[in-house]
Amino acid sequence: MTTQSTYQKAMKFAAEAHAQQKLPGSTANYLLHISNVVMEIIMAHHHEPTFDLEFAIQVGALHDVLEDVEEITEKVLLKNFSNEVVETVKTLTKDDQIKDKELKLLDSLERIASSKFKEASIVKLADRITNLQPPPPHWSPEKCEAYAEQAKVILSKFGDSHIYLSTRLENQINFYSNLKTI
């Protein structure tokens, strides 16, 4: 399978899974977020090809399906993607049993850090870069600040996994932090 075919298969699956979901604070379809994450992954590989691009594209396209789409289960994913892809998507899926947001984030980061697949941290960096766009208008300054602080934790935890993405995330944190002062 070519990289383009891998991309098309994963993006089609993600588009169908997230078809009814909107980007928070926007009328845009959630696929915008997914495609932006995958673009970060592709550009990261272009600048620093130290990971499996096709694997990372699949994980990047699917990283939110188990967390956000009730109809998509591990069993459904396994019918369409490899065990390794499903395992890594599970690694990136936050545990809904943990109610405290800070503990949920720390649990998620620990599972990503202990993953045998480097691509888990690559996708996490790309995801947070993409999420650091101007926040929804209903977010309070405190929520924005907390989100920027979470990004700093992610950067400190996974910054060594990919220099290009680390630099991108650092720049996005600065951009995002400056938005709040406008």
Q: Is the predicted pLDDT of residue 55 greater than 90, yes or no? A: yes
What's the pLDDT at 182?
40
For residue 144, what pLDDT band results from cuts at 50, 70 and 90? Answer: confident
The average pLDDT across 24-50 equals 95
Question: What is the phi/psi pair of residue 157, to 5°?
Answer: -75, -40
Question: Under DSSP, is residue 49 helix (H, G, I), strand (E, B) or coil?
Answer: coil
Strands, DSSP E only, in the chain?
Answer: none
Residue 34 · residue 24 · CB < 8 Å = no
Task: Give, in words, the CATH class of 3-179.
Answer: mainly alpha
Q: Is the predicted pLDDT of residue 50 greater than 60, yes or no? A: yes
For residue 138, what pLDDT band results from cuts at 50, 70 and 90? Answer: confident
Q: What would the two tokens of residue 78 be?
A: 């396994």
The average pLDDT across 11-16 equals 97
Q: Could you read off the pLDDT of 152-165 as tens digits, one per residue?
A: 999 999 999 999 99
What's the pLDDT at 134?
87
Mean pLDDT of the chain: 93
What's the pLDDT at 180?
55
> Where in the chain are the domains?
3-179
Which whole-number Å values give the CA distances from 170 to 2, 120, 148, 166, 175, in the listed order? 32, 19, 10, 6, 9
Which whole-number Å values give the CA distances from 84 to 74, 137, 149, in the listed order? 12, 38, 31
> How far apart are alpha carbons 15 and 21 in whole angstroms?
10
Sign of the Cα pseudo-torsion (58, 45, 37, 2, in order): negative
The average pLDDT across 102-121 equals 95
Partners of 29 in beta bridges: 22
